[in-house]
Structure 1
């Protein structure tokens, strides 16, 4: 019995530090938020248990449904765009032989920069006298109020987030491409398959597990977007960028209604969980 327990106990000791941190900073706060959503907790630390009143209030809250719609629209724009940019750059890097590490580092550099710094730089790029409107003026177009018009502000923020975050997905997809045996592609080339046929019939099917993983990660990231909105628009114009996370911040740290903010957080948790489970179902269906 001592011999049989040696390996599990040893493994548990190795993972115990990370497990403790995970419990302290993930599990316990999540349980605390779930309990707080059932109270009217305020900034003074005073609270009373009110049951599901916060959830009933949320169902009648126009701002909540608006923020949910904004978050969904943003996700629909951000996720496919990120997938296309990350996959395209990964395919290009996979073909590069000379100075591959340099190009990989340059493309990954925006991911490790501060979101605040990126937001400030892109605010200048989107201004009336900024870089993009300057280029549009040369072809007699614009100017476009990228951050002041409700119809274009979400795509404008999505572009910033894609530029900032595609490097992580690019590296994961590049690792997936490296795992594909080169003999498959060489055999297809010998059989007369062109580049598109090799990508469609060999590369894409073998890359599906990695693509699904990146899809899940980027979808969760889209639902949790906050930094770009906070720095560049503050939820405006006319709440056109009022996302779920920004709504949690607004109720929690502006109105100090922590119980209601926790309710928003629990609903966001449920939405992300459902979306992740749906994507995981597809991922399992593909034996990935």
Structure 2
């Protein structure tokens, strides 16, 4: 259609429209409207912010105060500031926090991650090729919904000299092993239980990761004559890297903070063979009444968790860039 309006009329109409739109936009996005939008946003965020303030920020600040004080856990007026004495005491000569407690914590977490990661990858790849996958995932997830006390006590009886594990060893012609009574075998024995109990969540994550890998990759590998081992190392594992990263970090964090299973099975013994940082914090606070040392140990463990997590993220990201 040919425009029959004069050029002056057309330009005037465009000018009117361009003059009107900014005014309306200013009304909708003016300072008063923006303040109203911000107020409404904070109103919706208020319950969540209040929850974090009460259950995260305030306890964190109080723990920081206690880490630089001496307090028996009764009257708030008895809090006695001591500076960094609690932190220096953890690493002083003769202290057991660095060795064996913190060392046990790292070994416990590393062992749990190694066993759980290897086992979950093996089971997840096997389940992916079976029928009734939902049933198998449910069976492996059952230990997750079982209480730690029940899991710990069952395995504790299985590790007894007359228990199931030693019964199998005796049937194979091997001698009995004092799994939880020997300082050399106590920590590895608990690591096996922790890894077994955490397989279910890792398997769920990895099976979901396997489902997200396009089938065309495997078809192309089959056309090229690649074997199962080559397909696993060249296709499955690289494409599972995000899922493996998630499993690795969550399992490591769980291992660093675990103490319930240890307190059920060994109570930190024999000696300090299975004593870990979280259990030591519990003992210092509730058994010895030294809340300052317990809070200082908590912050040291927090730094360890943060550093380990950042290192894991850096390693996985660097491997992703190299590949």
Query: 1:88 is matched with which residue?
Result: 122
1:252 and 2:285 are equivalent in the alignment: yes
Structure 1 residues without counterparts, runs of 5 or longer: none
Q: CA deviation at 1:27?
A: 3.3
Q: Structure 1 residue 72 and structure 2 residue 106: aligned?
A: yes
1:33 aligned residue (55, 63, 71): 63
Tell me how far 1:284 sits from its aligned partner.
3.3
Q: Structure 2: which 5+ residue stretches go unaligned?
A: 1-28
Offset at 1:125? 0.3
Alignment of 1:39-188 (within 5 A): 39-45=69-75, 46-60=78-92, 61-65=94-98, 66-96=100-130, 98-188=131-221
Name the structure, 1 or 2, with higher relative contact order (CA <8 Å, separation 6+). Answer: 1
Distance 1:187 1:7 in 2: 53
Structure 2 counterpart of 1:224: 257
What SS does the aligned partner of 1:95 have? coil
TM-score using structure 2 length: 0.83
- Cα deviation for residue 51 of structure 1 reads 0.8
Does residue 206 (structure 1) correspond to residue 222 (structure 2)? The answer is: no
Structure 1 residues 86, 4: CA separation in 2 closer, same or farther (over 3 Å shift)?
farther
Q: Deviations over 1:135-186 (max 9, x none)?
A: 1111221211100001111110011101111111111111111111111111
Residues 215-245 of structure 1, C-alpha deviations (whole Å, 9 max, x = no match): 1111111111101110000010011001011
Shift of 1:18: 4.2
Task: Summarize deviations over 1:159-214 as a string: whole Å, max 9, x none.
Answer: 11011111111111111111111111111112111111111111111111211121
**Superposition deviation, residue 87 in structure 1:** 1.1
Aligned to 1:277: 310
Structure 1 residues 11 and 81: CA distance shift in structure 2, 3 A: farther
User: With structure 1 as the length reference, what TM-score do the two structures score?
Assistant: 0.93
Structure 1 pair 241–103 and aligned structure 2 pair: CA distance change class (3 A): same
2:89/2:95 contact within 8 Å kept: no
Structure with max Cα Rg: 2
Q: Judging changes above 3 Å, is the alpha-carbon distance between structure 1 residues 7 and 171 closer, same or farther for their aligned structure 2 residues?
A: farther
SS in 2 for 1:259: helix
C-alpha distance in structure 2 between counterparts of 1:34 and 1:49, whole Å? 11
Cα drift, residue 74 of structure 1: 1.6
Which is further off, 2-11 or 134-143? Answer: 2-11
Q: Give the number of equivalent residue pairs.
A: 287
Partner Cα distance (2:220, 2:149) in 1: 48
